Amino acid sequence: MKRIMIYKRFERFWHWCQAGLIFFLMFTGFEIHGSYEVFSFGTAAKLHELAAYALIVLWILAIFWHITTGEWRQYIPTTDKLGAVAYYYLIGTFTGAEHPYRATTQAKHNPLQRLAYLGFKLGISPVIWISGLLYLFYNQWADWGLGWLSLENVALVHTAAAFAMLIFVIAHVYMATMGKTVFSMIKPMITGYEDEPEEKPSKIK
């Protein structure tokens, strides 16, 4: 086996910081929603706001990094091996089949991951951010000409997006454990390296 660097240090830093902040935002957000009580409402709301600002800063850094390094190309959708990867997650992983896709530095995400991440970045995230910021700056709506908006509707949209985020996180964590071992697909995002089999040189006849 040979080790190939797949995920750079900043990618791993960004990924785990983002994961931690998203989990914390969901935890405090559902408390604000009244699902349970750990902090007081005021404390949960303040912590939720601070975590949101921290995630915005992290995303700005990540967007800058992706643009300047060209890594944004990793998220361009492709149908190449899409059917094979979908079949693996539906059936192959339960029958001991080999994963049909091997990550490389030029193509880190399989076609199903690309579609999921693109949906996350262009679908769920904009809705949750726009509704969240509108909710946060409710007192400025009249000055911005948005007095026609309903706070209740904005809150409902934000909550719906939060549930969509929760579904994405659950699916992401579940699919990340569907390798040969529970941690085999998570390990590269911790160490940065992917283990690949050495190609044996062909014998000269």
Question: What's the confidence (pLDDT) of residue 80?
Answer: 86
Identify whether 184 is part of a domain: yes
> pLDDT value at position 201?
43
- Residue numbers of the chain with a pLDDT score lower than 70: 1, 179, 182, 196-205
Residue 33: its pLDDT value, please? 85
- Could you list the residue range(s) of the whole structural domain that residue 22 is in? 2-194
Q: Could you tell me if residue 200 is inside a domain?
A: no
* Number of structural domains in the chain: 1
**For the residues of the chain, what is the DSSP string, one character each?**
-EEEE-S-HHHHHHHHHHHHHHHHHHHHHHHHTTS--SS-HHHHHHHHHHHHHHHHHHHHHHHHHHHHHTGGGGG----TTHHHHHHHHHTGGGTTPPPS----SS--S-HHHHHHHHHIIIIIHHHHHHHHHHHHTGGGTTTTT-TTS-HHHHHHHHHHHHHHHHHHHHHHHHHHT-SSSTTTTTHHHHHSEEEEPPPPPPPP-
Prediction pTM value: 0.84
Q: Which CATH number goes with the domain that contains 41? A: 1.20.950.20
Within a domain: residue 199? no
Task: Say if 203 falls within a structural domain.
Answer: no
Query: Is residue 143 a part of any domain in this protein?
Result: yes
Q: What is the pLDDT of residue 1?
A: 62
Examine residue 65 and state whether it is found in any structural domain, yes or no. yes
Residue 75 domain-assigned?
yes
In a domain, 29, yes or no: yes
For 118-161, how does the pLDDT look when each residue is reduced to its tens digit (9 = 90+)? 888 889 999 999 999 998 899 899 888 898 989 999 999 999 99
pLDDT of residue 12: 93
Predicted local distance difference test score (pLDDT) of residue 35: 85
